[in-house]
Homo-oligomer: A and B are copies of this chain.
């Protein structure tokens, strides 16, 4: 069985550093400014592989002594979402960090309801099936969201 969710005890600093490096590059390529606030929010999101809500981020920022209001957080989230650096999980009203921001294939999000972690996977077969179904009924796709809730392998076996 292939891995999808990171192993317990993995080197998470590496995840964060990779994500930051990718984000730098994506922003540079897009001529977009990766400001302190945006970097801060991005880093907070990457503190775990779980999806976090805007108000959890707000609380985290406040806990660090920053006087931040909701719009600030939502703006950072919008910026990061627009560049594909984070994704919103509609069914959770929460956000998590994308580990393959360059990839624009139709993805799916696996959400573990037990540990809260989210993993993203590209699924060509699913993508094809969705586009085929859309084609059949003359539907022009603008955006697709596939959210799969259940138990990750770690949680199911421990």
Contact = CB atoms under 8 A, between A and B. Distances in A.
Interface of A: 1-5, 90-91, 108, 110, 112-113, 119, 121, 123, 125-126, 128-130, 132-134, 136-153, 156-157
Nearest to A143: B149
A123 B113 contact: no
Nearest to A119: B137
- In the A-B complex, the 10 residue pairs with the closest CB atoms: A138-B153, A125-B129, A4-B137, A126-B129, A90-B90, A142-B150, A140-B151, A90-B91, A141-B150, A140-B150
Q: Is the interface of A mostly helix, strand, loop or mixed?
A: mixed
A4 to B, nearest CB: 4
B133 A152 contact: no
Contacts of A132: 125
A48 B134 CA distance: 22
A4 B112 CA distance: 33
A152 B141 CA distance: 9
Contact of A136 (B1, B5, B134): B1
A141 to B, nearest CB: 4
Contact of A3 (B5, B137, B142): B137
Contacts of A137: 1-5, 110, 119, 121, 153
Nearest to A4: B137
Contacts of A126: 126, 129-130, 133
